[in-house]
Structure 1
Amino acid sequence: MGRWHWGGEGPGRTPWTRGWVLASIAVLVAGLLAFPAAVPNTVGNLGSLLETFLPWGGLAVPVLLGVALLRRSATATVALVLPAAVWAAIFGGRLLPADPGAAHDLTALQHNVSDENSDPGGTARVLARAGADLIALEELTPEALPVYEAVLAPGHPYHAVVGTVGLWSRYPLTGSRPVDIRPVGVGGDWSRGLRSTARTPLGDIAVYVAHLPSVRIRLPDGFSSDWRDESAVALGAAIAAEELDRVVLLGDFNSTLDDRGLAPVISRMTPADGGFGFSWPAALPLARIDHIMTRAATPVATWTLPATGSDHLPIAARVKL
């Protein structure tokens, strides 16, 4: 009986003739990174799930490289250049640090403060020290709201609150009103959209604050994002109807910039997307689901702030009007 070779190798196999399965997997990974929209949402919203964690797809490269080296496969090793290059082309720019000296006209800050936050006072003090001109908060509770109002008032004397979302500003706010982003079937007391006009020295800006519905991963349904996607459509329509040219949008979208579910919003806005800026969960950030976006204005830098008592990290962005 002949000697058995691990991986089904036989006599005469070389580093160039083995590892074709690994090479094929490398090409598949590159394809998924480059064209995630090719994965349909018809079954468990798998496409959106892939897009939510798309940057982490790059981890497949070192894993496959380790297997390729173990197999001593030159073919697989060379093939891994493809997904590595695709990842670098798509996400490599996010590794560059924010420019602290970038010229800007205002700074905006976004934070889901968590309705289970046991230290709203400490959270508010962190936000007050951040030096932002606009501060958007989500998951405000009736018990915590007076704390945020008291702590933020000295530096941000103008504020508006609708339901569980709020906006604090250095500049006067006018025309504050709810924005209906409620999915069909959700109760009438669900209010998580706000629009206000900030009267800045450089002119009026429409400021929107939104908190889109949460998503869940459940068996056998898969990635449940229907309500979030429906809410994104409503938010996109509200922004499209906005009469002011300049818009700043802040919120917890429970969605990443790569997720097609946020397309109705992203297609009308310019996201502050410098760096990875993973904002959730705070203990081990895996995805950026908190965003700052603009219209007729340019985000020039964005970054995350240190953890507070929330399960989200605050994010900030400098904006050039």
Structure 2
Amino acid sequence: MRRLLILLAVLASATFAIATPAAATPARTLTVLSFNIHHAAGEDGVFDLDRLAAEIRRTHADVIGMQEVDRHYGERSGWTDEPEELAARLGMHVVYGANLDLEPPSAGQPRRQYGTAILSRYPILEWRNTLLPKGKPAEEQRGLLEAVVNVRGVHVRVLNTHLQHDSADSRLLQAKVVADAVVASDEPVVLTGDLNAIPTAPEITTLTAHLRDGGNAFTYPAPVPTARIDYVLTNGLPLYSKVLPTEASDHRPVLTALAVWR
């Protein structure tokens, strides 16, 4: 796989020489994983953070966008601070977007949070989490987590989101906010996410109007996938993408190698 990535990167560099002659810096290759981790519980129903960390480690991903991440949320994940625990196990930087932020079970305990996280081998220069619109007040709060990552001198804006699961209208509202963030970015963009829609849906084409999609394989449910709802999209150049088997979640992760430049 690594030899293939190197070959593709060389070919991509030749493409950049034609397509981006004014580029200030050479292209940077980046391996990105999108993973709905289901709070580290697999199809077997077992919460196992070590199993999840081992699966992520084997991908050798530079950046990981994770959805359904618990932070002191409850018994289902052992009241664990999952983003910090995974960052420590993997030796990576981390930022977390709490889209649900609930009162603690008792005074003096941490707040119960649920949302998304970004792990990165490279330094994270800045970050923010923006709450996305709801189609109906009763819907779960969703968010857009953004982190600017310094990839060997090229600043890359990594976006991570989890769109509404049961309403196409709500997903479209949310996708338009994400698309606006893509257009407004001064940096090259990578978007990871469980978008809960197939590639031809309007909420996805709203995003692929601005971003390239290098994938084509089903991601859900994990044992025998029948739908493609998890993505890595970029306005760089996708070089290679594959969906990986997993025992650590109910979604299969998407691993994409891509090139970005300024």
TM-score, normalised to structure 2, is: 0.74
Q: Equivalences for 1:1-321 in 2 at 5 Å?
A: 99=4, 101-103=7-9, 105-115=29-39, 117=41, 118-143=47-72, 144=77, 146-153=81-88, 155-163=90-98, 164-186=115-137, 190-215=141-166, 224-244=167-187, 246-273=188-215, 276-295=216-235, 297-321=236-260
CA distance in structure 1 between the partners assigned to 2:118 and 2:63 by the alignment: 7
How far did residue 105 of structure 1 move?
A: 1.1
Worse-superposed segment, 145-154 or 233-242: 145-154
CA distance in structure 2 between the partners assigned to 1:240 and 1:254 by the alignment: 22
Higher helix share: 1
Q: Deviations over 1:77-125 (max 9, x none)?
A: xxxxxxxxxxxxxxxxxxxxxx555227110001001147122331122
Quick one: structure 1 residues 271 and 142, their matched pair in 2 at CA, closer, same or farther if it must change by over 3 Å? Answer: same
Higher strand share: 2
CA distance in structure 2 between the partners assigned to 1:154 and 1:232 by the alignment: 32
For the 8 Å contact 1:299–1:319, the answer to whether it is kept is yes
SS at match of 2:227: coil
Quick one: structure 1 residues 189 and 315, their matched pair in 2 at CA, closer, same or farther if it must change by over 3 Å? Answer: closer
User: Bigger relative contact order, structure 1 or 2, given CA contacts below 8 A and separation 6+?
Assistant: 2
CA distance in structure 1 between the partners assigned to 2:116 and 2:171 by the alignment: 16
Quick one: structure 1 residues 288 and 211, their matched pair in 2 at CA, closer, same or farther if it must change by over 3 Å? Answer: same
How far did residue 165 of structure 1 move?
A: 0.3
Q: Which runs of 4+ in 1 moved over 4 A?
A: none
Quick one: structure 1 residues 189 and 183, their matched pair in 2 at CA, closer, same or farther if it must change by over 3 Å? Answer: closer
**What 5-or-longer segments of structure 1 have no aligned partner?**
1-98, 216-223
CA distance in structure 1 between the partners assigned to 2:85 and 2:29 by the alignment: 26
For the 8 Å contact 2:40–2:48, the answer to whether it is kept is no
**What 5-or-longer segments of structure 2 have no aligned partner?**
10-27, 42-46, 99-114
Quick one: structure 1 residues 305 and 149, their matched pair in 2 at CA, closer, same or farther if it must change by over 3 Å? Answer: farther
How far did residue 209 of structure 1 move?
A: 0.4
Aligned residues: 212
Quick one: structure 1 residues 165 and 147, their matched pair in 2 at CA, closer, same or farther if it must change by over 3 Å? Answer: closer
